[in-house]
């Protein structure tokens, strides 16, 4: 367990956040502000409220996840982008990442998006706007919220558990070839998922 955590920590800051989140619910408290976590079943109501109570949905997943499935009308600014570095240390990390994560999940090796806050400012100029920040599992959105708080945004909320926990009835206006909750699945895991879906349909 310690070795696995060390490897994950070696790979990327995002992975380190994931390890901490699994050991408690304190990641919901993005210091120094308490950020509400809205479950997927309540998200539609939050996005369709009238007046000042309405949230905008900010999707912070990388492009290769979003292109599989996304909520119509949502904003998109990735908090992590693909790491294209070719120095020896980065290449070593990519090799380890592929063996531990990439081959099984299809996830690419990423790094923090240095222009994340400035890109959000272009699509959401008002720092008073209410933003519901969402990713696949709820970990990257925590990182995004921290960045946004540092950039002056205050009216923020997290999609609890991310899109992976969303049911079909939670977001009715979804585009793309996949279901929202399966958009993070790739690599070898994707083939196992297809087999599982086929077996479920047959049984």
Q: For the chain, 203 residues long, give each residue's pLDDT as a single digit of tens.
A: 333 433 333 344 443 333 333 333 334 555 456 899 999 999 999 998 876 779 999 999 999 999 999 999 999 999 999 766 667 765 555 445 445 554 455 566 678 999 999 999 999 999 999 999 999 999 999 999 999 999 999 999 999 999 999 998 999 899 998 888 877 755 444 444 455 555 566 55
List, as own/partner pairs, every contact residues 12-20 make where C-beta atoms lie below 8 angstroms and the sequence separation is at least 24, other chains included.
12/80, 12/93, 12/97, 12/109, 12/110, 12/111, 13/112, 13/143, 14/80, 14/110, 14/112, 14/139, 14/140, 14/143, 17/139, 17/140, 17/142, 17/143, 18/137, 18/139
Question: What domains does the chain contain, in order, with CATH numbers?
Answer: 2-202 (3.40.250.10)
Rounded to whole angstroms, the maximal C-alpha distance in the chain is 53
Catalytic positions, written as ranges: 135
State the pLDDT at residue 88: 72
State the pLDDT at residue 49: 83
Q: What are phi and psi of 95, to 5 degrees?
A: -65, -45
**How many Cβ atoms sit within 10 Å of the Cβ of residue 109?**
21
pTM of the model: 0.70
State the pLDDT at residue 145: 97
State the pLDDT at residue 193: 46
> Is the preceding peptide bond at 32 cis, omega within 30 degrees of 0?
yes
- Tokens representing 12 are 């990327």
State the pLDDT at residue 127: 96
State the pLDDT at residue 50: 74
């Amino acid at each position: 367990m310690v070795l696995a955590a060390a490897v994950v920590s070696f790979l990327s800051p995002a992975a380190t956040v994931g390890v901490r989140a699994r050991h408690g619910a304190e990641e919901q408290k993005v210091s120094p502000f308490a950020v509400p976590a809205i479950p997927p079943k309540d998200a539609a109501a939050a996005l369709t409220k009238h007046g000042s109570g309405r949230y905008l949905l900010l999707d912070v997943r990388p492009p290769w996840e979003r292109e599989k499935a996304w909520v119509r009308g949502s904003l998109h600014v990735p908090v992590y982008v693909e790491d294209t570095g070719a120095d020896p240390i980065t290449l070593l990390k990519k090799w380890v990442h592929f063996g531990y994560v990439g081959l099984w999940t299809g996830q690419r090796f990423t790094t923090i998006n240095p222009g994340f806050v400035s890109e959000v400012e272009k699509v959401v100029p008002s720092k008073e706007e209410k933003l519901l920040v969402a990713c696949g599992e709820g970990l990257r959105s925590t990182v995004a919220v921290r960045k946004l708080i540092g950039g002056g945004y205050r009216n923020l909320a997290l999609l609890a558990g991310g899109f992976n926990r969303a049911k079909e009835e939670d977001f009715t206006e979804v585009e793309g070839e996949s279901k929202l909750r399966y958009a993070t699945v790739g690599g070898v895991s994707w083939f196992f998922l297809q087999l599982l879906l086929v077996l479920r349909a047959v049984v």
